[in-house]
Amino acid sequence: MGQEIIRLLELREFPVAETRLLASSRSVGREYKACGNLETVRETTPEAFKGLDFAIFSAGGSISKEFAEDARKHGCVVIDNSSAFRMEPSVPLVIPEINPSSVEKHKGIISNPNCSTIVALMALYPLHKRFGLKHFFASTYQAVSGAGASGVTELEKQSRTVLGGGEQVPPEVFPHPIAFNLIPHIDEFREDGYTKEELKMRNESRKIMDHSGLKVSCTCVRVPVIRAHAMSLNADFKHPVNVPDAHAAIEAFNGTELWDLPNALRYPMPLDYAEKEVCGVGRLRLDQVFENGLALWAVGDQLWKGAALNAVQIAELLIRQNLLRVL
């Protein structure tokens, strides 16, 4: 994820005077090109954040909890990609296209939402603004790169073995073989039968849209796709819906594009949206269960808009609003 962040900073010509690459002691001394310079990786310590305006954390929840307060004490704003602070009331949970004003309340830490939540809301929020969202069902089809580089390696290794006539390679990253398979299991199961990943969709959507009454039911599935998450969404609204107005709402929303000509075989797919900054929405149609319902399909690059890009956009937002300070 760190390399994706660096790449996007460069692609978007982010104004950087100094870049520091921080990691564990195992990575110290490695060199990477970053924002026009060859940078040497330093060890993450409490003093490493001194003099920085902001830091994008992408090393997991335990590291975020260990070092976020150290960064804050040095006046460094933390943009955190983990789930460590997402549901804390005092920490803004931000998708810049949806709730940019939330960053004004930051106290040194801003959270990036979960990747599948971001993709879903980039499709649903413009419809919510037009029709008033009441509740939705989501089935996500999540790429293996969402589990890191090791997830991609496992899919590639298992696929080569099976295509070569060998037996399935025992899984290490996923609970079952992922090549030519679907696994309806992402994150830990709770007592109610839902996984933590599935509950993130509900809890984070409520916070981001300031919609405490929103009802959500979600099933998350790992699929043998390398990059870009897809999802099927069925949403019920307060006001009567129609497809032309839904199309117009999607087309007018920044960061989402309408890709909806099914008779011409035109609908969003992961191959189309890997390494793409916008999310795609298609297959829009009236739902046959809900009275004021729409069924739709959404796709987005979970490494970009679902994580690294959203974090960089938050940093850009902080600069535009002159909020690079710890309150």
Residue 71 in 3-state DSSP? helix
Report the number of secondary-structure helices (H) and strands (E) in the chain.
8, 13
Q: How far lies 275's CA from each of 112, 306, 327, in Å?
A: 19, 11, 35
The residues with which 88 forms a beta bridge, in sequence order, are: none
Classify burial at 23, counting beta carbons within 10 Å of its beta carbon; exposed 0-12, middle 13-18, buried 19 or more: middle
What is the C-alpha end-to-end distance of the chain, expressed in Å? 28
Most distant CA atoms of the chain, gap in Å: 60
**Active-site annotation holder among 76, 106, 115, 220:** 115
Cα 105 from Cα 8, distance rounded (Å) = 26
Classify burial at 67, counting beta carbons within 10 Å of its beta carbon; exposed 0-12, middle 13-18, buried 19 or more: buried
Decide the pairing of beta strands 215-222 and 133-142: parallel
Please name which of 76, 98, 48 lies closest in space to residue 211, comparing C-alpha atoms.
Answer: 98
- How wide is the angle at C-alpha 23 spanned by C-alphas 21 and 28, nearest 5°? 85
Asked about 115 being catalytic, the answer comes back as: yes
Please name which of 200, 196, 201, 166 lies closest in space to residue 180, comparing C-alpha atoms.
Answer: 166
Cα 133 from Cα 118, distance rounded (Å) = 16
Residue 105: phi and psi, rounded to 5, are -95, 5
**Active-site annotation holder among 76, 128, 218, 229:** 229
Decide the pairing of beta strands 229-237 and 256-258: unpaired
**Crossing angle of helices 309-320/2-11, nearest 10°?**
50
Asked if residues 60 and 67 have their Cβ atoms less than 8 Å apart, the reply is: no
Question: Which are the catalytic amino acids?
Answer: 115, 229
